[in-house]
């Protein structure tokens, strides 16, 4: 049965204090809880309790409850005894962390006890009202012989075999955390703007210390930035980060004790790529920023998840833009938004940024809630301006500190701070689907007037057939035929289904630079020929719109090439100008040289009403790469040589931009040099960025046997690099070989599939190989279904998440569709499918 937003009821009790006492043991950990409660309104005392929790004792004010006074039904424990207005509920349970392969609640990762409670994991630890609007201060005592014992808040006492932690800030149970194990800290300190001294620790397994420094530096930068950009200060004496190898997602913002997937902490030049470093900095920032947007102000219920996630993603994007190149970050974010969120919004899994119903909340930690949630805030900021945004945020922190808030609360602070009515804007939260925005132009030479007419239309999504028009901020600039900007960026505010805007006093018909900075998450359709796009690609003063023009050209020629056309000379020439433009930022040029993915081409073909052929798409993309390389081999070669970095490795924007440009050039040359350049780079490179890229290119060129063996021998004891070794041969394989390669790797003894990173590497590697996964014989679908079923019995969250690879199945040909349908039905027919995977597969199956 689905949970509904409309069913929200406040909890009848307030919790004044929680005391938890853990006696850790791998297979029988004892948890004692004392919960001081005060009645707020009438209603029964209900606690959430996982099926895997064994209840031994339950008492009220020291008096053991009679068996008849307590019922346990599914995941709910109900106390029927008469209760005073204030009382202390005490429970004692045992749980089995070693048997917890779902990695939700308390579990073991390589001998380290750790927790993951968001969204509903705390009920697997102890009976409790496991909902975000119940907030309380926690005191935690841990008994264990392990050397490091951590929980939320400040340390009170640490003696042999026992540690006490006190968190003065009231918080919901999903922010609870406990860690115990043999861990070593890389430590630092930070003094906040008001002078509070904070000890910082990044805890890793012994031996991993040399790879933890970048995470610590990123934390310091995050703390400083949140003070400067938002005036937000840290509020405890310690901030602990722990890296664990088994983790279902990226990281978790538990109060004062963030727990991270080790992939997002550990990095050295030899083992991590520039992209890994950038993600580490971004995610360290993200989890830190949650301290205010998520922890101090949390969500009333899980329907409001975007309140903390959309805002915190928006903040981490601002942070990365400030640390690195803002235009390049914007382009990267739009590329991922389109690849993941547009795909979601246009398929069977489409849902509003604030969903109104769910079966399993873990299935709603989606690109729509996170990334579209961030886009919606970006639009708000554009509409109210930087000052309006700053005022609204100050009011938000002021008014709601300590609250479990809603989207209505969030919008109200913008209304109150700026005087704007956001009734129509709110549709961005309630209505799913990506609006299609059509722009047409009329030029009146006699008066020098340009009229732009926009029309918006949002296609139906599951459960939402009709959508009224939304507020769309459209950032526009005008470029004169000689390349000057005659109208700097201005934001048009569209509110109707169809609307006109005019610009006058123009001496010649300008070229319109539309949707600058990607000012709204919409699909823009306009009539502009290849020459016009090439003009914008050369002259647009807005870096996003400039890149976008090149991307459009690339996509259009690729779509035409799948139908047999030859590469568009206009595009090949435009790439030549990028190669010659040595004044432009290398990272930006690298983005311009990268071809759209196979999947992006497939979407463009579907959008045009045709059926994509994955093999033809793959061949077209290879052919376009080869055509660019043959036309520009000298320039590419020059760029490759001139952008070699000779200074000692730094993962900063400058060096990583040069490496990205150099590797983009090599990627094109690889199509015509038979892997020669990649071979020598693989032999010479001293950093993982270049080695992994070279290895990928060797795989694509079919020349990697020797390199793969050497790579494995060198890194066999570095788990994160071995993950990459499992991923690359599948992701980069020529499509016809991808499933075979995946099967061979999956049969290896070191395919430790219960480890989420290892599973994601191999299984996700296959789903990222578009033509390989969508193999015409259906073997890619069968392989994925087999592994999802196997994983589902062990870790339902991971199985459900990876099932998303099927979401676009209905856009392919009949033969592929029938294979996909069979694989989906086979999963639905399996006995004892988890609630997680069942919800995902049934929604996906409904596509046709
Ligand atoms: N709040 C975490 C973050 O955004 C993610 C938690 C995801 N949890 C889950 N069960 N899917 O950093
Ligand atoms: Zn988050």
Q: Which residues pair with 443 in a beta bridge?
A: 450
pLDDT, mean of residues 257-273 = 98
Look at the chain and count its residues.
848
pTM for the whole structure: 0.99
pLDDT tens, 621-642?
Answer: 999 999 999 999 999 999 999 9
588 Cα to the center of ligand 2, angstroms: 28
pLDDT tens, 560-581?
Answer: 999 999 999 999 999 999 999 9
pLDDT category at 847 given cuts 50, 70, 90 is confident
What spatial distance separates the first Cα and last Cα of the chain, rounded to whole Å? 23
Q: Phi/psi at 506 (nearest 5 deg)?
A: -95, 140
Question: For residues 340 and 615, what is the distance between their CA atoms, to the nearest angstrom?
Answer: 21
The residues carrying an active-site annotation are 287
Task: Assign residue 181 a region (left: φ > 0; alpha: ψ between -120 and 50; beta: otherwise).
Answer: left
Question: For residues 588 and 6, what is the distance between their CA atoms, to the nearest angstrom?
Answer: 46
pLDDT, mean of residues 159-183 = 98
pLDDT, mean of residues 792-806 = 98
Query: Are 745 and 759 within 8 A, CB to CB?
Result: no
844 Cα to the center of ligand 2, angstroms: 25
Query: What pLDDT does residue 439 have?
Result: 98
Omega cis (within 30) before 119: yes
pLDDT category at 615 given cuts 50, 70, 90 is very high
Query: Are 837 and 803 within 8 A, CB to CB?
Result: yes
Which residue blocks in 530-649 are alpha helix, DSSP H? 530-539, 543-562, 569-580, 586-593, 598-607, 614-631, 633-642
How many CA atoms lie less than 13 Å away from 546 in the CB half-sphere? 22
ipTM value of the model? 0.98
Host H or E run for residue 695: helix 688-700
* Residue to mutate, 114, 173, 249, 265, ligand 1, most ligand atoms under 8 Å from C-beta: 249
Question: For residues 278 and 398, what is the distance between their CA atoms, to the nearest angstrom?
Answer: 32
User: Does the C-beta of 281 come closer than 6 Å to ligand 1?
Assistant: no
Q: Phi/psi at 439 (nearest 5 deg)?
A: -115, 130
* Crossing angle between the packed helical segments 735-746 and 719-731, to the nearest 10 degrees: 150
* Residue to mutate, 173, 358, 365, ligand 1, most ligand atoms under 8 Å from C-beta: 365
Contacts 24+ apart (CB under 8 A), 38-41: 38/13, 38/14, 38/85, 38/86, 39/12, 39/13, 39/14, 39/83, 39/85, 39/86, 40/10, 40/11, 40/12, 40/13, 40/14, 41/10, 41/12
User: Does the C-beta of 236 come closer than 6 Å to ligand 1?
Assistant: no
pLDDT tens, 96-150?
Answer: 999 999 999 999 999 999 999 999 999 999 999 999 999 999 999 999 999 999 9
Contacts 24+ apart (CB under 8 A), 747-755: 750/722, 751/726, 753/787, 753/790, 753/791, 754/101, 754/246, 754/794, 754/795, 755/245, 755/246, 755/719
pLDDT tens, 358-375?
Answer: 999 999 999 999 999 999
Tell me the ligand closest to 313's alpha carbon. 2
pLDDT tens, 46-105?
Answer: 999 999 999 999 999 999 999 999 999 999 999 999 999 999 999 999 999 999 999 999
Query: Are 242 and 179 within 8 A, CB to CB?
Result: yes
Host H or E run for residue 201: strand 197-204
Beta strand 298-299 pairing with 404-405: parallel
Which 3 state secondary structure label does DSSP give 405?
strand
- The residue whose CA has the least distance to atom 5 of ligand 1 is 252
Q: Which residues does 63 contact at the CB level (< 8 Å), separation at least 6?
A: none
User: In Å, what is the CA distance from 244 to each residue of 112, 202, 248?
Assistant: 8, 11, 10
**Mean of pLDDT over the chain:** 98
User: Does the C-beta of 249 come closer than 6 Å to ligand 1?
Assistant: yes
Classify residue 435 by its DSSP letter: P
pLDDT, mean of residues 276-293 = 99
Query: What pLDDT does residue 848 have?
Result: 63
Host H or E run for residue 89: strand 86-95
User: Does the C-beta of 104 come closer than 6 Å to ligand 1?
Assistant: no
pLDDT tens, 669-715?
Answer: 999 999 999 999 999 999 999 999 999 999 999 999 999 999 999 99
User: Does the C-beta of 251 come closer than 6 Å to ligand 1?
Assistant: yes
pLDDT tens, 471-503?
Answer: 999 999 999 999 999 999 999 999 999 999 999
**Between 847 and 631, the higher pLDDT residue:** 631
Host H or E run for residue 782: helix 779-792
């Amino acid at each position: 049965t689905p949970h509904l937003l409309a069913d929200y009821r406040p909890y009848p009790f307030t919790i004044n204090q929680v005391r938890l006492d853990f006696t850790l043991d791998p297979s029988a950990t004892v948890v004692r809880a004392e919960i001081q409660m005060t009645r707020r309104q009438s209603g029964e005392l209900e606690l959430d309790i996982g099926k895997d929790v064994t209840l031994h004792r339950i008492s009220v004010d020291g008096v053991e409850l009679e068996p008849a006074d307590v019922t346990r039904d599914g995941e709910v424990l109900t106390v029927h005894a008469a209760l005073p207005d204030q009382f202390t509920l005490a429970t004692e349970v045992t749980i089995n962390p070693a048997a917890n392969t779902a990695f939700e609640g308390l579990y073991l990762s390589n001998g380290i006890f750790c927790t993951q409670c968001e969204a509903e994991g705390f009920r697997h630890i102890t009976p409790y009202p496991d909902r975000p609007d119940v907030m309380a201060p926690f005191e935690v005592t841990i008994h264990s012989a392990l050397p490091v014992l951590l929980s939320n808040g400040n340390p009170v006492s640490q003696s042999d075999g026992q540690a006490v932690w006190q968190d003065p800030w009231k918080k919901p149970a999903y922010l609870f955390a406990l860690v115990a194990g043999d861990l070593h800290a890389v430590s630092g300190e930070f003094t906040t703007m008001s002078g509070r001294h904070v000890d910082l620790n990044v805890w890793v397994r012994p031996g991993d210390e040399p790879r933890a420094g970048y995470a610590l530096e990123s934390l310091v930068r995050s703390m400083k930035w949140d003070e400067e950009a938002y005036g937000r200060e840290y509020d405890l004496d310690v901030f602990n980060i722990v890296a664990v190898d088994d983790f279902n997602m990226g990281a978790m913002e538990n109060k004062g004790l963030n727990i991270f997937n080790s992939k997002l902490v550990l990095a050295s030049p030899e083992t991590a790529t520039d992209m890994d470093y950038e993600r580490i900095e971004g995610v360290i920032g993200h989890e830190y920023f949650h301290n205010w947007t998520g922890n101090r102000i949390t969500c009333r219920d899980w329907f409001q998840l975007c309140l903390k996630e959309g805002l915190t993603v928006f903040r981490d994007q601002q942070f990365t833009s400030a640390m690195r190149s803002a235009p390049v970050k914007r382009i990267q974010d739009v590329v991922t938004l389109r690849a993941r969120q547009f795909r979601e919004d246009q398929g069977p899994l489409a849902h509003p940024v604030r969903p109104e119903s769910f079966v399993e909340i873990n299935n709603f930690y989606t690109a729509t809630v996170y990334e579209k949630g961030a886009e919606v805030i970006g639009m708000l900021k554009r509409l109210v301006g930087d000052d309006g945004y700053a005022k609204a945020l100050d009011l938000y922190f002021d008014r709601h500190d300590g609250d479990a808030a809603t989207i209505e609360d969030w919008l109200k602070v913008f209304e109150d701070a700026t005087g704007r009515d956001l009734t129509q804007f709110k549709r961005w939260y309630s209505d799913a689907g990506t609006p299609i925005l059509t722009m047409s132009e009329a030029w009146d030479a006699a008066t020098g007037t340009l009229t732009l007419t926009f029309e918006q239309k949002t296609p139906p999504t599951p459960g939402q057939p009709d959508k009224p028009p939304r507020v769309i901020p459209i950032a526009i600039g005008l470029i004169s035929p000689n390349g000057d900007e005659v109208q700097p960026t201005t934001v048009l505010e569209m509110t109707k289904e169809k609307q006109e805007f005019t610009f006058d006093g123009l001496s010649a018909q300008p070229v319109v630079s539309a949707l600058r900075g990607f000012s709204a998450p919409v699909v823009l359709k306009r009539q502009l020929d290849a020459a016009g796009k090439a003009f914008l690609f050369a002259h647009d003063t807005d870096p996003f719109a400039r890149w976008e023009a090149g991307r459009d050209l690339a996509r259009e020629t690729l779509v035409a090439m799948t139908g047999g056309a030859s590469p568009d000379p206009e595009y090949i020439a435009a790439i030549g100008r990028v190669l010659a433009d040595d004044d432009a930022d290398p990272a930006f040029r690298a983005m311009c040289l990268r071809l759209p993915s196979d999947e992006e081409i497939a979407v463009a073909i579907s959008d045009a009403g045709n059926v994509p052929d994955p093999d033809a798409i793959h061949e077209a993309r290879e052919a376009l790469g080869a055509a660019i390389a043959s036309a520009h081999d000298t320039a590419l070669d020059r760029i490759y040589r001139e952008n070699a970095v000779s200074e000692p490795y730094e993962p900063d924007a400058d060096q990583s931009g040069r490496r990205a440009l150099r590797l983009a050039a090599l990627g094109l040359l690889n199509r015509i040099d038979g892997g020669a350049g990649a071979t020598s780079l693989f032999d010479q490179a001293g950093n993982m960025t270049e080695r992994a890229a070279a290895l990928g290119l060797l795989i694509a060129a079919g020349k990697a046997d020797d390199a793969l063996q050497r790579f494995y021998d060198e890194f066999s004891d570095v788990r994160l690099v071995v993950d990459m070794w499992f991923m690359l041969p599948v992701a980069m394989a020529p499509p016809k070989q991808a499933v075979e390669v995946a099967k061979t790797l999956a049969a290896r003894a070191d395919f430790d599939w219960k480890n989420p990173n290892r599973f994601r590497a191999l299984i996700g590697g296959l789903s990222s190989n578009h033509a390989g996964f969508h193999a015409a014989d259906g073997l890619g679908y069968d392989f994925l279904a087999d592994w999802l079923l196997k994983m589902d019995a062990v870790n339902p969250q991971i199985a459900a998440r990876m099932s998303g690879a099927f979401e676009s199945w209905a856009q392919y040909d009949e033969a592929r569709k029938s294979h996909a349908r069979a694989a989906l039905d086979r999963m639905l027919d399996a006995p004892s499918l988890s609630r997680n995977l069942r919800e995902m597969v049934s929604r996906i199956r409904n596509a046709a």
